[in-house]
Chain A
């Protein structure tokens, strides 16, 4: 089955700096890679995702890159703000069958702290 490794486990930055979180996956059949932000006591919130036919995707201050050959993908947050502080999870998914995507395999999470 799929295995997703995520680094670093903790990341501390100053407000305004950039933050980068990296993930690797093992199953070449995976073709969908979402990123989630989880605040304390809440459910994971989908913040950006990328599919295997695309190398990069951007949404305001966040971007995700994908290298299918090396089987790794990264989350980039620019101009970080204190409200970006949370746990970030990467995930990978392959088709369950038909036109439906299946289960997500998550990385271990990165605790991001943005200091004012």
Chain B
């Protein structure tokens, strides 16, 4: 049973470019969460999505960041016009609708903005 998958694992972008991070949840999971981890810091919630719906985006910066989880395909976290401060590890977690609702994390995408 495959776990949460994220790609790419490492992404280098120049200032002003766009970054697209993908997350495929565990099989049978329909809820996706995105978290950001800055160097030497804990994880900060960004957004919580279900299929075709954004449930909670209270942690998303107001500008340049967007997320989606379409009916088909992976969830995408999109960062437009990246700046050096966007350099961080971005983690996706998934959970199922029923049961314990534990969140299982992927390996992360490490974004470096040069």
Given A108-B41, A108-B42, do A101 and B105 touch, yes or no (CB 8 Å)? Answer: no
Chain A CB within 8 A of B107 CB = yes
Chain B CB within 8 A of A71 CB = no
What's the tally of chain A residues with a CB closer than 8 Å to chain B? 24
Complex CA–CA separation, A103 to B104 (angstroms): 12
Residue-by-residue, is B77-114 near A (CB-CB < 8 Å gives 1, otherwise 0)? Answer: 00000000000000101010110111111111000000
Q: In the complex, which residue of chain B has the Cβ closest to the Cβ of A98?
A: B97
Chain B CB within 8 A of A16 CB = no
Q: A93 to chain B: closest CB distance in Å? A: 8
Q: In the complex, which residue of chain B has the Cβ closest to the Cβ of A46?
A: B102
Chain A CB within 8 A of B44 CB = yes
Complex CA–CA separation, A32 to B50 (angstroms): 20
Residues of B within 8 A of A (CB): 4, 6, 31, 33, 35, 41-45, 48, 50, 55-56, 58-59, 91, 93, 95, 97-98, 100-108
